[in-house]
Chains A and B, each alone.
Chain A
């Protein structure tokens, strides 16, 4: 188990004992995420409870008073995300929790957060959409929205957990990444993982690495709020400590003052993630080396897919499993590299095609790309994934574009209409 990222500094900070409820629990993924946030040192959640993420908000409410934390139920999602940006600039670690249309409402200030290089975590327990959709059932259709849902150029980091244990572990990782790169980090969970109850082991506080905020340490008069360190990330000051702090959503220079043209600082918003992608990306790979077909998946689907993969392996097919722990930044290099060795990628996801576009782009026409879509409401039938693998292994032709696997659901819809 990896808790947080490897700190590059000499002093590795550990979690605060008071924040960590060491022990074994039988809790759902939502609650585990709240425990993880608290262990990471999160002291503020501003949110507007929405199914299926409500349990995470509630769990934070219950624990917050014991760790000096505050929770505010805001008037709506616009207020929720705005409140956490304010909390972060006051020096705290903060998170918001949402789902479905709540996520859409947060878009504008996600952009502000990215522009101000505000480290924060957003937990999206994805439900099926669009709009109100299926509030109590799973979806994975906010993946593209999570990347560029706000206006303008920026990059974020997104992580997709597949179990309550990972909801705990990766919420800590999300906080650490957000502090390290000063960017929004999204935990793109789903209803299934959020509502699933399993054993969660909360380790001792000294086993949990914590990335501290990058506070500026030089002389006050020399502080420039957007002057980056070598890794392209600027150190922060907090409001009220006597620094000249000018931060605004306008395109700005190193001082934070508005400019009339693009500056290196806006390019930095994408470069600090793109150029550090190798350090950020986390993948789980299994039997990739001699594989003919590689299944690429994330979140709950990566668990369900293993059933289809095992079924295919039992029939003698060489199938590798590539699970995206971090979905953004996308592992472009790895997919490109694999595309030269494998016949095809199979991409199951609980949507009608999102991450599959990235896989297709990075495959550069070297390998076929098969989408196993699922409209949401439930997880895939592993049988559909197995059949897609079987097809992908047998297909001799190079097929241009994305091949949509005809799932049972597809057949039901189209036979009915014909």
Chain B
């Protein structure tokens, strides 16, 4: 997936850390992996909550068009998000989703599917809100778009110091689960 722009969409509902995921992964790429990344969030004029998504472009060159046109990678943490953004995924795209929160409907041709019970894992670790970090670990393992090192440097910048260890554990949980799948 080098030499071109990788278009990624994180999708879920408000409060799941969807935008935060975009920032953490984007920062890991831009600051620690020395790539170009652009992160955008789309939201309407209404109060936050409901379906939400963040768009992340990762490239070795300067990024011109700052939005996702057709996603290469779609990460879904909620059913509504899945239904809204699945059609945008490329025919040979990658779909990562939360096993317990998303029911797949139609399975398209060459789309590769990977699932993880990220929310359940997060609950087992003691904090439901770190499901997005489990998912980021899973994303890092499956896609290899961003390096593990960069991710581990980026995560602590977005969480209070007393929660850094918990978040890194969550990342490892997702990462190891992913690595086992693609071994």
Give residues in A with beta carbon < 8 Å to B: 24-26, 51, 134-136, 192, 195-199, 300, 303-304, 306-307, 378-379, 382
Contact B64 A199 (CB under 8 A): no
Contact B65 A195 (CB under 8 A): no
What is the CA–CA distance of A199 and B64 in the complex, to the nearest angstrom? 14
Contact A303 B64 (CB under 8 A): yes
Known: A26-B26, A303-B65. A196 touches B45 (CB 8 A): no
B30 to chain A, nearest CB (A): 4
Residues of B within 8 A of A51 (CB): 45
Residues of A within 8 A of B146 (CB): none
Known: A136-B43, A136-B44, A136-B45. A199 touches B65 (CB 8 A): no
A contact patch SS = mixed
The 8 Å CB contact of B39, one of A134, A196, A300, A379, is A196
Q: Mark B55-79, 1 if CB is under 8 A from A, else 0.
A: 0000000011111000000000000
Q: B122: CB under 8 A from chain A? A: no
The 8 Å CB contact of A196, one of B27, B40, B43, is B40
What is the CA–CA distance of A192 and B38 in the complex, to the nearest angstrom? 11
Q: B37: CB under 8 A from chain A? A: yes
Contact B66 A307 (CB under 8 A): no
What is the CA–CA distance of A135 and B46 in the complex, to the nearest angstrom? 10
What is the CA–CA distance of A196 and B31 in the complex, to the nearest angstrom? 16
Contact B30 A195 (CB under 8 A): no
Pairs across A and B, CB under 8 Å, 27 listed = A25-B31, A26-B23, A26-B26, A26-B27, A135-B45, A136-B43, A192-B66, A195-B41, A196-B38, A196-B39, A196-B40, A196-B66, A197-B40, A198-B26, A198-B37, A198-B38, A199-B31, A199-B36, A199-B37, A303-B65, A303-B66, A304-B64, A304-B65, A304-B66, A307-B64, A378-B67, A379-B65
A199 to chain B, nearest CB (A): 4
The 8 Å CB contact of A197, one of B36, B38, B43, is B38
Residues of B within 8 A of A136 (CB): 43-45
Contact B66 A379 (CB under 8 A): yes
17 A-B pairs besides A196-B40, A198-B36, A199-B36 with CB distance below 8 A are A24-B31, A25-B31, A26-B30, A26-B39, A51-B45, A136-B45, A195-B40, A197-B23, A198-B30, A198-B38, A198-B63, A300-B66, A304-B64, A304-B65, A379-B65, A379-B66, A382-B65
